[in-house]
Structure 1
């Protein structure tokens, strides 16, 4: 199971970062370049959780988001994925930065099944940190 870890430093305060990560309104596809309107659907939500399908034709994922504002954590559990299948997910840990803003520690894990998915998952360790930092920088106000 590949695990990719990286850090972002955001100019946004932790509450604002949490709000961006957990905004499942119609604005989400406009905020996140990796989500298109056709592949965005909210299946259910509550005060501290949501189950959504999001992504693009080439790479979508159905996931359950759970968050705890006090702990500064957002956990995303992959239910299904076009590219990797079920299992794994994301963990976002938000820590107030001393100079203002937020330190965002990101962890991505995948549980691929099958040769093709295992090869793709192995390639994640090489390409993912740079690509993901760029993808998250705009929405999360990263420097």
Structure 2
């Protein structure tokens, strides 16, 4: 089992980041590179939770999203072709006095078969750089989305 800790500071508010994280629309892949549109399937979505399958590159997982605490989003893997056990993601969003938001992400990968165990081991070592780069791209894309939304509202 691999546990990967990631951190970013963003100009997005916690609410803006939460809105992006829980937007399961057709352009999700522009924000989250590991969530290809052709894998995306929303089974249920309520005001503080969702049941969604997403993935890319032959790896998919069904996740239960819980944002009943809007500063802590817990995504629990309920099914996957490679991950099981305690797999999932937790995002903690902390507003800072300067108006930025600290985002702490914890990704747990527990393989349920050989492919999952190998992927988990790779992600826990050299793959952390790849995940960190993807996370930084996501944060940048969310900031750009919020900037264009703000520009549109000012017109």
The residue number in structure 1 matching 2:130 is: 131
**CA positional deviation for 1:69:** 4.6
Larger Cα Rg: Structure 1 or Structure 2? 2
The residue number in structure 2 matching 1:75 is: 74
**CA positional deviation for 1:83:** 2.7
Distance 1:116 1:24 in 2: 27
1:52 is aligned to 2:52: yes
- Per the normalisation by structure 1, the TM-score is 0.86
**CA positional deviation for 1:138:** 2.9
Distance 1:110 1:57 in 2: 16
Distance 2:25 2:118 in 1: 34
- Per the normalisation by structure 2, the TM-score is 0.80
The residue number in structure 1 matching 2:6 is: 6
The residue number in structure 2 matching 1:117 is: 116
Distance 2:35 2:115 in 1: 23
Distance 2:9 2:116 in 1: 31
Distance 1:114 1:138 in 2: 30
| 1:12–1:81 Cα change, 3 Å | same
Consecutive unaligned residues in structure 2, runs of 5 or more: 144-155
The residue number in structure 1 matching 2:39 is: 39
